A and B are shown apart, each in its own frame.
Chain A
């Protein structure tokens, strides 16, 4: 089955710097890659996602890149702010018409943004 590896497990940056979190996946059939942000004691919240027919997607300060050949995808946060501090999870799944596969999550990255 699918296996998702995520690095680093912890990341500390200064406010205003960029943060990059990387994930690799094992199943070449995976075609949907969301990123979730989880604040302490709260639910995972979708912040951005990408499908395998796209190489890059951007939403304001957040971007995700996907390299299908290498089977890795990355989250980029620019101009980090203290409120970006949270645990970030990547995930992978297989979606096809009429069906929605389950998400396989990475182990998470605890991002700390220091003021």
Chain B
């Protein structure tokens, strides 16, 4: 079964440093997402991306965050200047066109620890 791949699985960074989280969505999927999950809490939507642009973003996704699809396969989330409260599990997800096949496929996540 096709998978969404995320790297690294765990990243530790100093407060104020920039981090880039990487994702390789399923190859024929068109919609890409980043979600985060603070330990013990619910999964929260950050941003969705379609046709090479952001289609929707949440209040969490402020100016410190950016996303990019630098080539035909990767989808990245950049946090410009990390804060302690950015510590969370970050999940990338992808989905195909509505009505073709249901559901979002999540990657295995990147655990970001800001110290």
A interface residue numbers (CB < 8 A to B): 32, 34, 36, 42-46, 49, 51, 89, 91, 95-108
Chain B residues with CB under 8 A of A97: 98-99
Cβ of B42 and Cβ of A45 under 8 Å apart?
Answer: no
B24-48 to A contact mask, C-beta < 8 Å, 1/0: 0000001101010000011111001
Q: A34-B103, A34-B104, A36-B43 are in contact. List 8 more A-B contacts (CB 8 A).
A: A44-B106, A46-B105, A100-B48, A100-B97, A102-B58, A105-B43, A106-B42, A107-B41
Q: CA separation between A101 and B43, bound complex, in Å?
A: 15
Contact of A100 among B35, B42, B95, B105 (CB under 8 A): B95
A-B contact count (CB 8 A): 64
Classify chain B: how many residues form its interface, as a range. 20 to 34
Q: CA separation between A45 and B99, bound complex, in Å?
A: 19
B65-88 to A contact mask, C-beta < 8 Å, 1/0: 000000000000000000000000
Main secondary structure of the interface of A (DSSP, over half): strand
Chain A residues with CB under 8 A of B91: 43-44
B interface residue numbers (CB < 8 A to A): 30-31, 33, 35, 41-45, 48, 50, 55-56, 58, 91, 95, 97-99, 102-109
Cβ of B103 and Cβ of A95 under 8 Å apart?
Answer: no
Name the distance in Å between A110's Cβ and chain B's nearest Cβ. 10
Q: CA separation between A51 and B101, bound complex, in Å?
A: 12
Q: CA separation between A58 and B107, bound complex, in Å?
A: 26
Name the distance in Å between A106's Cβ and chain B's nearest Cβ. 7
